[in-house]
Structure 1
Amino acid sequence: MDFTMPHVRLLGEVRVSKIGGVSRACTTTTKKTASEAIPSYVFNACFNVTDVAIDLPKQCLSISIGLARFDVSLQISESSNIAPRLTVSIPVWKDINVKGPRLKSTLVQTAVKSRTAVQLTLQSAANAALQTIKFADLLKWAGL
């Protein structure tokens, strides 16, 4: 497995080189709502991941995650004026290790061990990417 996010704020390129396992942690739901007569869809999903390896080539660092749970909610509006929005919660975040040059790894480990910092970074990167996707394409992809 090799998944690369090319431009993550403050980190540069982030490469996920290994995910040992992924399992569903809750029922996936889809809900159609309307706010001010504008239809929107909310997709909720939760999943556990184990044994993750992440490389930060620009920083010469590697990060390992033993176990994490991600609760994700994606809201998509039919209005072209309202961008899709992703919300991420990380209720489980265990066995986090950072390897690389001592000073860098110590500084990065402090941030990476913070579920809140990781959550905000993931949300920011995902929401920036979502700005480039057209609503009609997302609905087509979702089969709606």
Structure 2
Amino acid sequence: MAQDRFEDLVETFEFLEDWEDRYRHVIDMGKAFPALDDALKVPATKVDGCASQVWLHPRIDGTGPSATFDFEGESDAMIVRGLIAVLHNLYAGLTVKEVGAVDAPAELARLGLDDHLSSQRSNGLRAMVTRIRSVAAAAAT
């Protein structure tokens, strides 16, 4: 279950045949992603398990399983900022219940990220997905 904007991203990646072009596209997505207010870069929003500095600030609209999930985020590494933007395309706008139903590894595999990210970046991406799922699960109850 992917958002329309994630499906658009998959199509873009299919069009960009060379991984270097895809990598640049992810970086461009990170550059275009809105910056996180410095006041939100606190220990509570910091994601552990990432090689670079990463902060995710969730925004939940409503209560219970039908509450809408969104988040802001930032990293000190451009590729990671881009990965935050990729995750935003995957999750933002879903209900907190739907967030838990997303098979993130399968969806992200459609972009071919696993084959081209370092193990540290892959671990960081998994840590961000874990944080998103955890926040959504807590909001769903």
TM-score for the superposition, normalised by structure 1: 0.33
Q: Indicate the structure (1 or 2) with the bigger Cα radius of gyration.
A: 1
Q: Which has the higher strand share?
A: 1
Q: Which has the higher helix share?
A: 2
